[in-house]
Amino acid sequence: MRLPALAAATTAALALALGALSPTPAATGTATSAASLFSPRLVTVDTPTAAHKDRLAALGLDLTEHAGHDYVEVVLHNPADLLALVAGGFTFDVRIADLVRRGIEVAEINEAYAARVAGSPLPSGRDTYRTLADYEADMAALARDHRTIVKRFALDRPSLDGRAVHGVEIGEDVRRPASGRPTFVLLGVHHAREWPSGENAMEFAVDLATSYGKDRRITRLLRQARVVVVPVVNVDGFDLSRTDGEYVDLRALNDVDPLGGSLSVLATPGHAYKRKNCRVLDGVDTPDGTCRASLTSSGGFGIGVDLNRNYGGFWGGPGAAASTPDLANVEAGVLDPTYRGAAAFSEPETQNVRDLVSERQVTMLISNHTFGNLILRPNGVDPKTLGPDGKPVGDAPDEQALKRLGAAMAAHNGYDNIHGWELYDTTGTTEDWSYNATGGFGYTFEIGPDEFHPPFPDVVDQYRGAGTYAGRGNRGAYLVALEHTVDTAHHGVLRGTAPAGTVLRLRKEFRSPTWESAYDDVVDSTITVPRSGRFRWVVNPSTRPVVQPRTYRVDGVTRTTAGRREAYTLTCERRGKVVQRSKVFVDRGQVVRLGTACRR
């Protein structure tokens, strides 16, 4: 259905809109009254120009990651959301008229699928969504059953609710000290309601572990790289969404339900479409185990921090709400879906990812999200936008290479390969920080065409590919990403000799820009020289993209900012003491021969 654009918001307009969009009419007056209650819904809003997108973003609604050049999909949680959209003069189509009822339908589809199949075609054979306990059990089983190539680990910081956040590291001889192989980091579930993002990440971990020694391509890649998979970054939020999303099944009472079956809808818990983490007050931890006692989260709204706006990369800029409500931009402050947190990396979940990336040479990173069938690359802000220095932010220095790799991955999953800002402006995102701080390529995958947690058979198709992309899918895209991880045409290589057992440390301390100021950041990775005394270390370039020259156009004139060159500090450490220190410059595709790096 399409609503006409209206010049002003009125109660009559809202009543008309609600009447046009009400659920299926019921036969009795009681049921009709229940049906007229507003249900959360997904709508496709027409945005024919960039100005329309900007105006839509300023309404403070729950924008999804599904958008194109002339539309953005939005979740409407209550009548006020609908009123804001109508009053803003937007036209839209209703995609899913009742997300709660759709959730129940999906649960029924999943039940039928699990009953019909002995096991899915996924590497794990799973036939339904994992719970948090399932993820924990599967990671533990991988490490137990594949000890030589899989190691389970806990990230440094527990969640606000006191949960450990686990991941798995996969590679040949994974339990030995790092010896110079690059790392591919694959992340899932920053946003609690985006269940397929964790499933795809976990299935790739299972795929690698079970294919090693059997699949020639995977075996070769695991001999050259380490793969780190953290399937659930936002453990607290996901646990709430996943358990609330497994709806209270009251269908057995439908025959005696005076609301004609609507009771199951009205009794549905309130965190199924939660977006953020469990932060209640900035800077204040909550007692462990109390997250569930928090107020229900009406989709993206309510308490919590949007973790994918909390990273340091230009934190605090466009597309991320501040703590104070902004009436001019219709931002709801801490209750806003895109609330960025009190400071860059204020949340334990983002601190975990920062440490993970900073302590390794991560030459490739993918952060999985849902939905939109998109591959998003840096930067997250329109290049014409004036940055903190008063100049247009421009494109990423590696734009052409980032675009080519995105296209190579899209050839497997069929996703649109676009800049992050072509969806809408965002700042403080995972890959914008990781790329600009380390030089390692980073992307967001928006998995699936049209739902946050679709029927599970759709997850199977997304991972394995379907139709034109059968046999490829995200599995094929991840393998392309893993090949990029080891491709030294895009990374630097340090070669040399040193006494066996010496710890080589590459460290770089720097100030990373936020939209308002800057913060202290660091890259600090180590390897241990093997018994041969010879080492080969694949590393990211020493100069960060954010300080490289950038080109932009003003009034038809091309201009280039001044850049600067940065170095790593290379130290040799024996028995915990630094015995030598030197500066190392390395660029993409460069092999730096250090000779004898550490004198005996």
Number of alpha carbons in the 13 Å side-chain half-sphere of residue 529: 23
What CA dihedral angle connects 588, 589, 595 and 600, to 10 degrees?
50
Backbone angles phi, psi at 274, to 5 degrees: -60, 140
Of 420, 413, 405, 423, which is closest to residue 459 (Cα–Cα)?
413
Contact 454, 196 (CB under 8 A): yes
CA distance 168 to 170: 6
3-state per-residue secondary structure call for 389-428 = CCCECCCCCCHHHHHHHHHHHHHHHCCEEEEHHHCCCCCC
137, 144, 413 from 210: Cα distances, Å:
16, 12, 22
Residues ≥6 apart with Cβ < 8 Å to 137:
none
Contact 414, 421 (CB under 8 A): no
Contact 23, 32 (CB under 8 A): no
51, 128, 354, 442 from 365: Cα distances, Å:
31, 27, 12, 5
- From edge to edge, which strands make up the β-sheet containing 92-96? 62-68, 71-76, 41-46, 92-96
Partners of residue 386 on adjacent β-strands: 392
DSSP H/E element including 68: strand 62-68
Contact 515, 315 (CB under 8 A): yes
Contact 349, 514 (CB under 8 A): no
* Terminal-to-terminal C-alpha distance of the chain: 77
Which position among 446, 509, 516, 573 bears the catalytic label?
446
Contact 244, 270 (CB under 8 A): yes
Backbone angles phi, psi at 515, to 5 degrees: -70, -20
| Coil, helix or strand at residue 593 | strand
Burial class of residue 161 in the structure, from the number of CB atoms within 10 Å of its CB (0-12 exposed, 13-18 middle, 19+ buried): buried
What CA dihedral angle connects 162, 512, 379 and 279, to 10 degrees?
20
Contact 75, 38 (CB under 8 A): no
Which residue is it, tokens 């734009």?
A: 399
Contact 461, 469 (CB under 8 A): no
- Say whether 446 is catalytic: yes
State both tokens at 225: 């790289």
Which residue is it, tokens 């949680």?
A: 77
List the catalytic residues.
Answer: 446
